[in-house]
Structure 1
Amino acid sequence: MHVARDGIEGPGPQVVVPLRSIDSDASAAVSELFVVHHRRLVGLAALLVDDRQVAEDVVQDAFAALHRHWRGLRDQNAVVTYLNRAVVNGSRDVLRRGLRGKRATLRLVPRSEELESAEQCVVAHEEADRMWGSVTSLPMRQRQVLVMRYYLEQSEVEIAETLGISRGSVKQHASRGLAALAQEWEEQS
């Protein structure tokens, strides 16, 4: 994990786990992937569904689906994309069914030891809560694009591939989402 410029703790560089072999034991390979990617994927889902427990369920479902479809996989580089897509789609399904609830418990502010005073810590938490409220009010596609860009630090190409949309659509959703956030923050200030 690392903390990005804006104080949001992110997943750090993406790690690709070399898979034993496409014909290997699915349980062992999926277990390896789980160890490396679980935390990052739960963070992604929590930012999308706004509920840490539901996010855990979405990620468990994604890994279960990966295990079920293991023999159909042909490209080890596509496994991480498969998991990202499964989590994004699972999160979207949860929101469609209206199963989100309590706020995610992700850290969206610097660690308290990185701040100079308790007052700075309180202010940082208040600003993070305000920012998070703004992000959760965005339309789902804009929210997905912004979370994938700024939390997962994915490129436009990676986001487009995961969401199944064009690179131009990624740019458009990011631009509209950022504009909406800027307008909301300006109105609140």
Structure 2
Amino acid sequence: MVGEWASGAERSAERSVERTLGHLRVLDTDEHPPQRPATLEDLYRQQRMRMVRLAILLVDEPATAEDVVQEAFTGLYRQWSKLRDTQAAVGYLRTAVVNGSRSVLRRRKTARDYQPPHPGNERSAESLAMLTAEHQSVVGALGQLPDRQREILVLRYYGGLSESEISEVTGVSKGTVKSTASRALNALQKILDAQ
């Protein structure tokens, strides 16, 4: 994704992120092998936990992630009868989860601007229990990145999306996706080096 001109630090950060989020993606795929959903209920059973994990990586809070995913499924339910292809439903859900996560982060930022700062939400022990120490440090470092940078890395390495797909989901150009990913990997490596 970064390209041949990437610095050594960016390549190192990319390998770390790819190992960590790729590990989570493989766990999700092993847990729920992809099948063509026939009903909304099938889709819910197949995709709910994957979407919750995506939301957790974006908003860093399990309860809020659950709410974001529930809203995404509620929106899909309202549109289900108009859907021509049930495979498109997964893309709809992914976009809805990303947009819902953005809304949550905007509300958090607004709330922080009007309230005294408080300690951030710590990840639960359960959410990190299946990760090695290296993976835990990468997930922790992801949480320190600006929202858009974290979003793009999560969609690329956890979601397994291409630059074009990320561009479509986030509503930014492919060039912006590429440059943001490069900056994110560079910043992530600096955070990991400082740990």
Give the shorter-chain TM-score range: 0.7 to 0.9
Task: Quickly say closer, same or farther: Cα 1:149–1:106, change in 2 above 3 A.
Answer: farther
TM-score, scaled to structure 1: 0.75
1:168 offset after TM fit, Å? 1.6
Q: In structure 2, list runs of 5 or more residues that go unmatched.
A: 1-16, 112-119
The alignment's C-alpha RMSD in Å is 2.5
Indicate if the aligned counterparts of 1:43 and 1:106 stay in contact, CA closer than 8 A. Answer: no
Q: Quick one: distance in 1 between partners of 2:158 and 2:129?
A: 10
For 2:100 and 2:72, the matched residues in 1 are separated by 8
Residue-pair matches, total:
162
Aligned-pair CA distance for 1:106: 3.2
How far residue 84 of structure 1 moved from its aligned partner, in angstroms, is: 0.2
The AA in structure 1 aligned to 2:36 is: V
Partner in structure 2 of residue 6 of structure 1? 19
Match of 1:106 among 120, 127, 131: 127
Q: What's the CA shift string for 1:36-79, capped at 9, x where partnerless?
A: 11111000000011111111111111001100122332343321
Is 1:63 the counterpart of 2:73 in the alignment?
yes
Take 1:5 and 1:92, find their aligned partners in 2: how far apart are those partners? 23
Match of 1:23 in 2: none
Amino acid at match of 1:85: T
Distance 2:127 2:139 in 1: 10
Q: Match of 1:47?
A: 57
Structure-2 separation of matches of 1:139 and 1:59: 22
**C-alpha contact (below 8 Å) 1:108/1:128 kept by paired residues:** no
- Residue number in structure 2 paired with 1:36: 46
- If each structure's helix is expressed as a fraction of its own residues, which one has the higher value? 2
SS at structure 1 position matched to 2:140: helix
AA aligned opposite 1:12? T
Segments of structure 1 that go 5 or more residues without pairing to the other structure are 20-28, 111-123
Contact 1:48 1:147 in 2 (8 A): yes
Aligned to 2:152: 145
Paired with 1:172 and 1:161, the residues of 2 have a C-alpha distance of 16
1:69-88 to 2 correspondence within 5 Å?
69-88=79-98
Change in CA separation of 1:77 and 1:101 when aligned onto 2, cut-off 3 Å: same
The verdict on how the C-alpha distance between 1:143 and 1:170 changes in structure 2, with shifts beyond 3 A counting, is same
Closer, same or farther: CA 5–85 of 1 in aligned 2, 3 Å:
closer
Please report how far the alpha carbon of residue 134 of structure 1 lies from its aligned counterpart in structure 2 after TM superposition. 1.4
The structure showing larger relative contact order (alpha-carbon pairs under 8 Å, at least 6 residues apart) is: 2
Is the contact between residue 58 and residue 90 of structure 1 (CA under 8 Å) also seen in structure 2?
Answer: yes
